Amino acid sequence: MMRRVVTAVFLLSLVLLSIRFLPPSLFLLVIDLILGLGVFELFRLLARYGVEAYWFTYPLTLLLPWVWTYSPEWVLNYLVVSGLICMGYSVFQTREMKKGFLSMSGNLMAIFYLGVPLSIAGSFQSSLVLRLHLLMVLSVVCAGDIFAYGVGKKWGKHKVASRVSPHKSLEGYVAGLLFSVLAAMVFGHFFIPAWSTAYLLLILIGAFLGLVSMVGDLFESMLKRGADIKDSSNLLPGHGGVLDRIDSLLFALPAYYTLLVLIK
């Protein structure tokens, strides 16, 4: 437990300092470091499903945050071309026909499942206004994760989705959802002037992000369950791997990005 707390405090401090003080180009390098580790862990996991990693998926994924931040008008074209490259390459690479679709899907998944959310994080950090929204997402997701874990571990009795993640409980999810809403209300009131008194909106945002984060956590648990592994790696003491630490954010960031577009 203590290792988990120490690791969490260290990582959170590092993330907050990076968001606050690093220039966009250096922050994108940090994003690429996280992306590289995440893609490595994902392919290690997907290999158990028979997925073959394509050599170009790493550079395509690592380049996406730079395109998203500095040439956002090219993002759609970049994603379309990336998809065509993966699909086209699978035709000539696969020796076993049944593995062709699996490998192509796995490589596309790396680009979209990891590349898109972390590219959104990188682009948010480059703007002073959007930086607050990035911190908003982090606050809501972290609050939900911490209290879902703590309450579930101490008082959790009613299991939820036990086939996917046997340790998740209804009590933990309810606590996580409530504290996600509370975090959204507190952060929005004090740090996002346009939403300082929009309490209903903040409640809805907190509940929405809380629910999406739970699905993100269960999605990664499903991948690990199918691959018959407990953690994506043992890189982070007490937490497992990079994927284990950012699984909720991988769903929350695109959801929040879409929400901002709809609100505007």
Is residue 101 domain-shared with residue 29, that is, in the same domain? yes
Q: Rounded distance, CA 130 to CA 239, Å?
A: 28
* Boundary-marking domain end, from 126, 147, 180: 126
One-letter identity of residue 132: L
16 within some domain = no
Same domain? For 119 and 137 the reply is no
39-98 pLDDT tens trace = 999 999 999 999 999 999 999 999 999 999 999 999 999 999 999 999 999 988 766 777
Residue 128 CB burial class (10 angstroms; 0-12, 13-18, ≥19): exposed
pLDDT of residue 155: 86
Residue 4 within a domain = no
202-236 per-residue burial string, b: 16 or more CB within 10 A, e: under 16: beebbbbbbbbbbebbbbbbebbeeeeeeebbebb
Examine the fold and report which residue of 126, 149, 173 is the final residue of a domain before the chain moves on: 126
- Whether 32 is covered by a domain: the verdict is yes
Is residue 7 in some structural domain? no
At residue 221, the 3 state secondary structure works out as helix
Are 138 and 203 part of one and the same domain?
Answer: yes
Find out whether 224 and 45 touch, Cβ atoms under 8 Å.
Answer: yes
Number of folded domains that form the chain: 2
Domain membership of residue 3 (yes or no) is no
Whether residue 15 is contained in a domain is answered as: no
For residues 200 and 77, state if they share a domain. no
Pair 119, 138 in one domain:
no
Is the CB of residue 43 less than 8 Å from the CB of residue 110?
yes
Q: Is 190 exposed, middle or buried (0-12, 13-18, 19+ CB in 10 A)?
A: exposed
Provide the 3-class DSSP secondary structure of residue 150. Answer: helix
- Which range marks the domain in which residue 106 is found? 22-126
- The residue from 99, 126, 153 where one domain ends is 126
Axis crossing angle, helix 116-125 with helix 242-263, rounded to the nearest 10 = 70
State the 10-residue block means of pLDDT for the chain, 264 residues long: 74 91 96 97 95 95 98 97 95 76 95 98 92 96 92 83 81 94 96 93 97 95 92 84 94 97 86
